[in-house]
Amino acid sequence: MSIIKFPKDMKWGTATASYQIEGAAFEDGRGLSIWDTFSHTPGKVKNGDNGDVACDSYHRYEEDIELIKDLGINIYRFSVSWPRIYPNGTGKINQKGIEFYHKFIDKLLENGIEPMCTLYHWDLPQALQDKGGWANRETIEAFVNYAETMFKEFNGKIKYWITLNEPWCVSFLSNYIGTHAPGNQDLQLATDISHHLLIAHGKTVSKFRELNIEGEIGYAPNTTWLEPFSDKQEDIDACHREIGHYVEWFMDPVFKGEYPQFMLDWFRKKGVRLHIQDGDLESINQPIDFLGINYYTGYIARYKENSGLFDFEYIKMGYERTEIDWPVYPEGFYKVLTYINNRYGNIPIYITENGACYNDEPINGKIKDKKRIKYLKQHLVALSRAIESGVNIKGYLLWSLMDNFEWAEGYSKRFGIVHVDYDTLKRTKKDSFYWYKKLVGNNWFEF
């Protein structure tokens, strides 16, 4: 048994997102988002589930904040539903939406919990999608305008701002693989969208600086790690392409003001070219205050000709898998963090998401989610190693506070440390909740 201890000023939190927990999809003037449309389209989401009610946090936020308070965390990451603020994406503001977030944020602050606000966690107003969505550069301006409204309204209340959650998912997963809203399958389109998202991010950061908003701003790309099966160059290169699709593609433009050449070359081979206009890279390349990192899984992989977009295959190495079938690969967490630190310098990092899907149900009122605790311990050991190696980790936000609408998987996959009964909406703390509470209180845990 050993003790894993964290730096004194380490922040501990949990994370959620608006469409996954709020519900109240048609209330108080909220407009429709692409996830309303997608989830109501037969065949898109498992069991035909949708976020109409979700965890009903829009009505139960006080109860949820009680849970957060009990957990003892000092930071809570949530996202704002853009169509609650601008039902049509731009134009008229919906005052009720603004009021809701004021009530909610005030309650967090009253309880000594620092809000970390994500401006875009995937619920694009449908009205903007109808005009092309992120493929249309007008959406960039609409986003910056929405962000400006939020900055002015909540200046001084929100200290940590995140522009985008997981731009890889918004572009490639949603517009090339097509399993997330809006569900397109077009590589050129997805690539254009990835570029537009980065411009939207950069312009929002500039707006934040121009308005002199208090606090810090960053974004939260998702990461993974692929360890080459052998030291053959072709295996190393194949793994590098897949890592590069998450890391270099979405971070080089932000930190270095350029796209990685090896990825541009690869995309060109696939018949895709990037439409960069004058000034785009300058817009993207804005200094940020912190980087949010989401990490869940990684793989061992090797080169395989004509296999998928990047010519690699995963190797089954006997790793445990969570119930969403993702390998438990904590070593990848350490590796990707040190890789990012080496490549981009010692930028402050918040782990804005990390967690595991296990579907344990209550037995006699108790939820013994041992495997989740094991997963968390393993990843926190990896995180502690990264800190020891000099990675500038400021905080860790566990995904997720509670079970919620898991996108294309609907309610069939549970990531929470609080169980939600979707018939009664009753919340029940899992064993992992109590385990995390102890860690947060001590700032260390036993491994």
Report the nearest approach of ligand BGC to the CB of residue 233 (Å): 31
Give the one residue of 22, 114, 353, 360 binding ligand BGC; rule: CB under 6 A.
353
Residues 199-228 interacting with ligand BGC (rule: CB under 6 A): 222
Residues 407-426 interacting with ligand BGC (rule: CB under 6 A): 415
Report the nearest approach of ligand BGC to the CB of residue 15 (Å): 8
Residues 261-300 interacting with ligand BGC (rule: CB under 6 A): 294
For residues 149 to 188, the per-residue mask of contacts with ligand BGC, x marking binding by CB under 6 A and - elsewhere, is ----------------xx--x-------------------
Catalytic residue among 227, 353, 406, 409: 353
Q: Three-state secondary structure along the chain?
A: CCEEECCCCCEEEEECCHHHHCCCCCCCCCCCEHHHHHHCCCCCCHHHCCCCCCCCHHHHHHHHHHHHHHHCCCEEEEECCHHHHCCCCCCCCCHHHHHHHHHHHHHHHHCCCEEEEEEECCCCEHHHHCCCHHHCCHHHHHHHHHHHHHHHHHCCCCCEEEEEECHHHHHHHHHHHCCCCCCCCCHHHHHHHHHHHHHHHHHHHHHHHHCCCCCEEEEECEEEEEEECCCCHHHHHHHHHHHHHHCHHHHHHHHHCCCCHHHHHHHHHCCCCCCCCCCHHHHHCCCCCEEEEEEEEEEEEEECCCCCCCCEEEECCCCCECCCCCECCHHHHHHHHHHHHHHHCCCCEEEEECCCCCCCCCECCECCCHHHHHHHHHHHHHHHHHHHCCCCEEEEEEECCECCCCHHHHHHCCCCCEEECCCCCCEEECHHHHHHHHHHHHCEEEC
Assess whether 166 carries a catalytic annotation. Answer: yes
Report the nearest approach of ligand BGC to the CB of residue 122 (Å): 7
Pick 15 or 347: Cβ nearer ligand BGC = 15
Residues 120-149 interacting with ligand BGC (rule: CB under 6 A): none
Pick 228 or 410: Cβ nearer ligand BGC = 410
For residues 5 to 24, the per-residue mask of contacts with ligand BGC, x marking binding by CB under 6 A and - elsewhere, is ------------x--x----
Report the nearest approach of ligand BGC to the CB of residue 288 (Å): 18
Residues 238-257 interacting with ligand BGC (rule: CB under 6 A): none
Catalytic residue among 114, 166, 406, 409: 166
Pick 98 or 324: Cβ nearer ligand BGC = 324
Pick 17 or 263: Cβ nearer ligand BGC = 17
Report the nearest approach of ligand BGC to the CB of residue 294 (Å): 6
Pick 378 or 404: Cβ nearer ligand BGC = 404
Number of residues in contact with ligand BGC, rule: CB under 6 A? 11
Q: Does 406 bind ligand BGC (CB under 6 A)?
A: yes
Backbone angles phi, psi at 31, to 5 degrees: -85, 175
Pick 18 or 191: Cβ nearer ligand BGC = 18
Q: Where in the sequence numbering do the catalytic residues fall?
A: 166, 353
Q: List residues near ligand BGC by CB under 6 A.
A: 17, 20, 165-166, 169, 222, 294, 353, 399, 406, 415
